[in-house]
Structure 1
Amino acid sequence: MSHANLDLVVIGSGPAGQKAALCAAKLGKRVAIVDRREMIGGVCIHTGTIPSKAIREAVLHLTAINERSLYGDSYAIKHDITMADLLYRSNHVVRNEVAVVHNQMRRNDVTTFFGYARFTSPNSIRVTRSDRGADDTSEIFASNFLIAVGTDPARPAHVPFTPDRVIDSNQLLELKHLPRSIIIVGGGVIGTEYACMLQAVGVKVTLIESRPSLLEFVDQEVVELLQFRLRDMGMRLRLGEAVSDIRLTDDGVEVQTKSGKRVTAAMLMYCIGRQG
């Protein structure tokens, strides 16, 4: 199926793509936006900022960690917290945010195409429906295209990614059960954030970072207080330690650092970098 020439087609429906499509539509341009049906709203809504912050709020509520100075260290809304408990709130927030995006596009007459886009000429793309196969395609012609497809977690070839054993931050949101212990490689924003949350709900966390401290872009005094608090929660920090090898074992994962140390856990999450 072919569609008449549009003024702008945006490939990717994350924050950048949404704003571009809406701004052009408000200026009277004929606009369409393309993304997979299951990813409308982009990485921000489905695997990035929105789910991680929703899980954080679930952790704060269920553990009542901010109330313990008043009620005691053993106080909690729920003691045996599961992955389903954490994802319940996250999934609810994601559904609401997706509905907001759909409504914004509809109100501003932005046509939405679901599927994978591929350029067939400088002024046309072919969109294949991701849920219906190669036979269900649309040809879209436009004067201008904006590519705003975002990023995915980096997955280096030397890391033996395996479901439920060695995962990235996206796959954490697909877990059915919380692991009893986890090694998180990478002490950046994503790794540190999930390390805090998992430790708070009872997972034994080891956080490995090759730099001498976490979050080097943050004021050093703040970082030192954070690191003290993480250790006080029971987290093991391995700072200034680079990972040389990751291997699967019968009952989990083993990491060897370049300094010769060995660390074992039931699961490993690799959180170093993202790629587009």
Structure 2
Amino acid sequence: MADQQSDLVILGGGSGGYAAALRAAELGKSVVLIEKDRVGGTCLHRGCIPTKALLHAGEIADGARESANFGVNATFEGIDMAGVNKYKDGVIGKNWKGLTGLIKSRGIEIVEGEGVLVGPKTVKVAKQDGSSDTYTGTNLILATGSYSRTLPGLELDGRRVITSEHALQLEHVPESVIVLGGGVIGCEFASAWTSFGAKVTIVEALPHLVPLEDEASSKQLERAFRKRKIDFKVGVRFEKVETSDAGVVVTLEGGQTLEAELLLVAVGRGPVSDGLGYEEQGQRLERGFVVTDELLRTAVDGVYAVGDLVSINGGPHLQLAHVGFAEGILVAEQIAGLPVVPIDYAGVPRITYSSPEVASVGLTEVDAAEKYGVDNIKSVTYDLSGNGRSAILNTKGAVKLIAQNDGPVVGVHIVGDRVGELIAEAQLIYNWEALPGEVAQLVHPHPTQSEAIGEAHMLLAGKPLHVHE
């Protein structure tokens, strides 16, 4: 079992790992990418891509049901889950084949097998044929990702009590579902299943759905979910679940019970670090997350961590695929000796792909008031009822802006169908510290939903156009 040497060894081929591999190879480094499953990680195979495929299928189902509103005669005859899964898996397969080909074309060695640290920068890989090899890098990146968490005492059986991974493999549309957790994952599945015809109830311990978003966005999503007959209970805690052949009975604090066919547990994601030799090789862990500094450097010189695995200085971290991409690129460039700067995580776009979508970048109003002082900020809300394209799409929502008094925009929050496509412009506004008047001068194409961004800034700059006084 010879030890193979390279400039960079990466443990984990998800978003952060493969982005680092591609950029490092581009910069002339020899790279070994170790992955126990398939490159692309959770996002491609069990997360972002398949869930959005389900949501798109749900959007088409809703379009068929509501076609008469647009003068189109169509009949909705139900959901063929075998067909939906074929479509979903086809999207995944096409992306996976393209990604695998791209990685190999860059001269990156892909090693299939389970890796464990046996030295500070050495990984031992157990391969499927029973053999094993070790790989040592001048630098090492830990990118082993995350898994679906549960609560203490709440056991997942994969049949009645399931995670998002199980939910993506369902071969039928459940008649009813209780979703434990009203964050991004919970709201996305609740939205998709409702479009498929299931009766959904969300249980969230915090006071609002998507609780990390601005409260105004949460309230707009809740209003839309009520209209869609999605039930939700917020500010209430889960106590226990009992399962039977017929389904589940969930008991909440106070003794209230709910019955459904399935319980989806969507209470967040934990780090994949247990049993991988991290602590034994000098890594500092916090609740299982690998602790890094702002430049993703760990406690061991020459070792970095990226993606869902990371806790920056022991604090919380955005578990998003595009964060993993950015971190992988940052670390690869750092290893190559290029100048890098820490990522401003507040400047990373966040999207919940429910119907309607919730998209944001920058600070919430509460966070902005805490950072700058409540008397030093102002906010405005532009309702999508004034936007022609939103009327065509028959969607409701709003753009909320938060800015420093006589200063730049520090938060953009949007609710409405397809508004996730608008957040890229909002990202530039926040990250380039644009003034409201500067954005108000930009000409947005008509009729598009992007006009709502412009109109909101016109309102904030004191020159509203399509706004009722």
- AA matched with 1:216: P
Quote how far apart the aligned CAs of 1:71 are. Answer: 4.4
Matched, 1:11 2:6: no
- AA matched with 2:15: P
- Other-structure match for 1:263: 258
Deviates further, 235-244 or 181-190: 235-244
What is the SS of the residue equivalent to 2:111?
Answer: strand
Structure 1 distance, partners of 2:4, 2:15, is 26
Structure 2 distance, partners of 1:20, 1:11, is 11
Pick the structure with greater CA Rg.
2
Structure 2 distance, partners of 1:269, 1:85, is 22
Structure 2 distance, partners of 1:9, 1:30, is 9
Quote how far apart the aligned CAs of 1:120 are. Answer: 2.2
Conservation of the 8 A alpha-carbon contact between 2:36 and 2:115: no
- AA matched with 2:50: P
1:241 aligns with one of 230, 233, 236: 236
What does the per-residue CA deviation read over 1:142-200, in whole Å, with 9 as the maximum and x for residues that have no partner?
Answer: 22210011111102341131122000111111222221111001000000011011011
- Other-structure match for 1:232: 227
- Other-structure match for 1:49: 48
What is the SS of the residue equivalent to 2:185?
Answer: helix
Task: List aligned pairs for 1:73-88, cutoff 5 A.
Answer: 75-76=74-75, 78-88=76-86
Go from structure 1 to structure 2 and tell me whether the alpha carbon gap of 1:181 and 1:22 turns closer, same or farther (over 3 Å shift).
same
- Other-structure match for 1:195: 190
Structure 2 distance, partners of 1:152, 1:262, is 28
- Other-structure match for 2:59: 60
What does the per-residue CA deviation read over 1:89-146, in whole Å, with 9 as the maximum and x for residues that have no partner?
Answer: 21111111111221221111000001100122234221112x43xx222222222210
TM-score computed with the length of structure 1 as normaliser = 0.91
2:207 aligns with one of 212, 230, 235: 212
Go from structure 1 to structure 2 and tell me whether the alpha carbon gap of 1:253 and 1:75 turns closer, same or farther (over 3 Å shift).
farther
What does the per-residue CA deviation read over 1:240-261, in whole Å, with 9 as the maximum and x for residues that have no partner?
Answer: 2211111113411011111221
Go from structure 1 to structure 2 and tell me whether the alpha carbon gap of 1:240 and 1:160 turns closer, same or farther (over 3 Å shift).
same
RMSD across aligned positions (CA): 2.0
- Other-structure match for 2:157: 162
Task: List aligned pairs for 1:87-236, cutoff 5 A.
Answer: 87-129=85-127, 131-132=128-129, 135-236=130-231
Deviates further, 200-209 or 79-88: 79-88
**Percentage of identical aligned residues:** 27
Structure 1 unmatched ranges of 5 or more: none
Structure 2 distance, partners of 1:153, 1:170, is 8
Conservation of the 8 A alpha-carbon contact between 1:164 and 1:175: no
What does the per-residue CA deviation read over 1:66-85, in whole Å, with 9 as the maximum and x for residues that have no partner?
Answer: 6453148x955x42203323
TM-score computed with the length of structure 2 as normaliser = 0.55
What is the SS of the residue equivalent to 2:101?
Answer: helix
Quote how far apart the aligned CAs of 1:29 are. Answer: 1.1
Quote how far apart the aligned CAs of 1:3 are. Answer: 5.1
Conservation of the 8 A alpha-carbon contact between 2:173 and 2:197: no
Deviates further, 145-154 or 56-65: 56-65
Conservation of the 8 A alpha-carbon contact between 1:7 and 1:143: yes
Structure 2 distance, partners of 1:137, 1:69, is 62
Structure 2 unmatched ranges of 5 or more: 272-469
Deviates further, 55-64 or 238-247: 55-64
Conservation of the 8 A alpha-carbon contact between 1:55 and 1:89: no
What is the SS of the residue equivalent to 1:156?
Answer: coil
Go from structure 1 to structure 2 and tell me whether the alpha carbon gap of 1:28 and 1:163 turns closer, same or farther (over 3 Å shift).
same
Matched, 1:21 2:44: no
Conservation of the 8 A alpha-carbon contact between 2:4 and 2:134: no
What does the per-residue CA deviation read over 1:28-54, in whole Å, with 9 as the maximum and x for residues that have no partner?
Answer: 1111101024x3111110111111111
Conservation of the 8 A alpha-carbon contact between 1:6 and 1:142: yes
Structure 2 distance, partners of 1:144, 1:66, is 55
Conservation of the 8 A alpha-carbon contact between 2:148 and 2:164: yes
What is the SS of the residue equivalent to 1:225?
Answer: helix
- Other-structure match for 1:69: 69
Quote how far apart the aligned CAs of 1:55 are. Answer: 1.2
Conservation of the 8 A alpha-carbon contact between 1:211 and 1:239: yes
Conservation of the 8 A alpha-carbon contact between 1:60 and 1:66: no
